[in-house]
Structure 1
Amino acid sequence: MSDPMRPRASLRTAVVWEVLRDALDRHAKAGDGRPLDVLDTGGGSGNFAVPVAALGHRVTVVDPSPDALFALERRAAEAGVAERVRGVQGDVRGLFDVVDRAAYDAVLCHGVLEYVEDPAEGLRNAAAALRPGGLLSLLAAGLGGAVLSRTLAGHFHEARRALEDPDGRWGDGDPVPHRFTVERLTALVEGSGLRVGAVHGVRVFSDLVPGVLVDTEPGAREALLRLEAAVASMEAFHAVATQLHVLAESSAA
């Protein structure tokens, strides 16, 4: 898992990490076996960047927060991968003010599209940072998960509003500007010139299960992790996932 010392965090990242690690491994082996150049846009303090660097790859993290980049530097040093992690202040909208186009074997765009003004533009920039045949890992908020959580909390009017809102927002107090269905997210990916390879539902159950049960019931966390992994690729559960993960590739030269 991405951080075994943070069990609650691992519930939220385990599925994505397992898929991403396998995809990076396949991508590296398909080439000459050299370390990959990876761009993590919006990578914050390195939840994914540091584990990716621990696999031997070179990672550039672009994030608008100086505090997050400072935490990234400290985290990378503690993990012994400081020489393979570089932090740069910036965002996906002005991505090419701080990094080069077509310079990366893989781009991570996790938790970014929800918050940019124009998700299509942000995704086009992420795609343009890829080399031919490059890999995109995209993680974004799912509409169905928000509708389900508002319903289970008894906020039925908010659930209906999220369902009908073009951006999937449940009200003026909603902190998430955009949520996505599988159809909308994959259309954005294809519109950026990439080919969709796989879609996964993330946090299908983990946000709905009481924390006290997961933290205190013997074996509950491991069982929930296995359950999340089992349903991640099943289309029937994508519609209620808190997040949607898409793996995509750019065209080969």
Structure 2
Amino acid sequence: MSDPMRPRAALRTAVVWDVLQDALERRVKATGRQALDVLDTGGGSGNFAVPLARLGHRVTVVDPSPNALFALERRAAEEGVADRVRGVQGDARGLFDVAERGGYDVVLCHGVLEYVDDPAEGVRNTVAALRPGGVLSLLAAGLGGAVLARALAGHFTEARQALGDPNGRWGDGDPVPRRFTADQLTALVRGAGLEAVAVHGVRVFSDLVPGVLVDTEPGAMEALLKLEAAAAELAAFHSVATQLHVLGETGGTDGA
């Protein structure tokens, strides 16, 4: 399957996209349907939704921002997939006011748990949207990556603050309300009744490498992508990743 997210701008999402594509291929084979039903919670302007629609899948994006949904609509139209992308205003807590319970083969929950009041409830809602045999793609901010970034920037007090804070925040000016460890995310997935089949560290190196090196060194982009992919599955690097990705799967089968 071709990868529509390999350009320079997609460097930070390459690992997630590769994992997601593999999961989609498995679901296509398991269901016998080329077009899957995908729910993208917090999907914003369609960074994942539009490429998924280009692959032929039907995608529903739930996001609280009208501006993001407007951008999604425009982007889907420009890419010629407006008939396969639907945007609705809502959030994880009231998910089933706008989305179908048990109606999706794959659910994306990317960049959502950091901002909800109750992460466990947020995961339970996304799981309840899955069909039997469905797949959850969960992406959230990693604690270790934030600590490392603050320390490397010379903000040692803030790094220590984040390390000891129950929500992983480095101070009042921190724009991220909550960060997670890999153990915390896998516990949330398992607590919602899924098997955590894979954990990946995302943006292990890309946030630390000066952009000028990637842009000017011949072959640096592809080499960095390969390095990120190689480190993503190694538990040793999960503790320093900027983001953590957990792939969860439900039991049962759905051959509809």
Distance in 2 (alpha carbons) for counterparts of 1:248 and 1:187 = 11
Partner of 1:236: 236
| CA deviation vs aligned residue, 1:79-137 (integer Å, no higher than 9, x gap) | 11111100001111110111111111110000110111111111111111111111000
Q: Is the 8 A contact 2:34 2:56 kept in 1?
A: no
Structure-2 separation of matches of 1:156 and 1:169: 13
CA apart distance, 1:169: 0.6
CA deviation after TM superposition for structure 1 residue 218, in Å: 1.5
TM-score of the two chains, using structure 1 as the length reference:
0.96
Cα distance in 2 for residues equivalent to 1:94 and 1:172 = 28
Q: Which residue of 1 is the match for residue 212 of structure 2? A: 212
Output the CA distance in 1 between the equivalents of 2:141 and 2:6. 24
Deviation at residue 4 of structure 1 after TM alignment? 4.6
CA distance in 1, matches of 2:4, 2:151: 31
SS of corresponding position for 1:186: helix
How far does the alpha carbon of each residue in 1:6-63 deviate from its partner, in whole angstroms, 9 at most, with x for none? Answer: x1x3111111011101110111111113411000000000000011111111000000
Deviates more, 1:216-225 or 1:203-212: 216-225
After TM superposition, list the pairs within 5 Å mapping 1:61-210 onto structure 2.
61-210=61-210
Gaps in structure 1 of 5+ consecutive residues: none
CA contact (8 A) 2:6 2:14 kept: no
What amino acid is the match of 1:148? Answer: L
- Alignment partner, residue 40 of structure 1: 40
Aligned counterparts of 1:27 and 1:239: Cα–Cα separation in 2: 30
One-letter code of the match for 1:246? V
Q: Can you list the C-alpha shifts for 1:197-237, whole angstroms capped at 9, x where unaligned?
A: 10000000000001111111221111111110111111111
Q: CA RMSD, aligned part only?
A: 1.1
The ranges of structure 1 where at least 4 consecutive aligned residues each deviate by more than 6 angstroms after the TM superposition are: none
| 3-state SS of 2:25 partner | helix
Aligned to 2:222: 222
Counterpart Cα distance in 1 of 2:118 and 2:81: 34
Cα distance in structure 1, aligned partners of 2:6 and 2:33: 27
Query: Shift of residue 166 of structure 1?
Result: 0.8
**CA–CA separation in structure 2 for the residues paired with 1:102 and 1:14:** 28
1:156-200 CA deviation, whole Å, 9 max, x = no partner?
111111111111111111110110001111001111111101000
Deviates more, 1:140-149 or 1:71-80: 71-80
3-state SS of the aligned residue for 1:21? helix
Q: Give the CA deviation at 1:3.
A: 3.8
The two structures have a TM-score, normalised by structure 2, of 0.95
The separation in 2 between residues aligned to 1:3 and 1:130, in whole angstroms, is 25
Q: Which residue of 2 aligns with 1:21?
A: 21
SS of residue paired to 2:133:
strand
Percent of pairs identical after alignment? Answer: 76
Check the 8 A contact 2:204/2:237 in 1, yes or no: yes
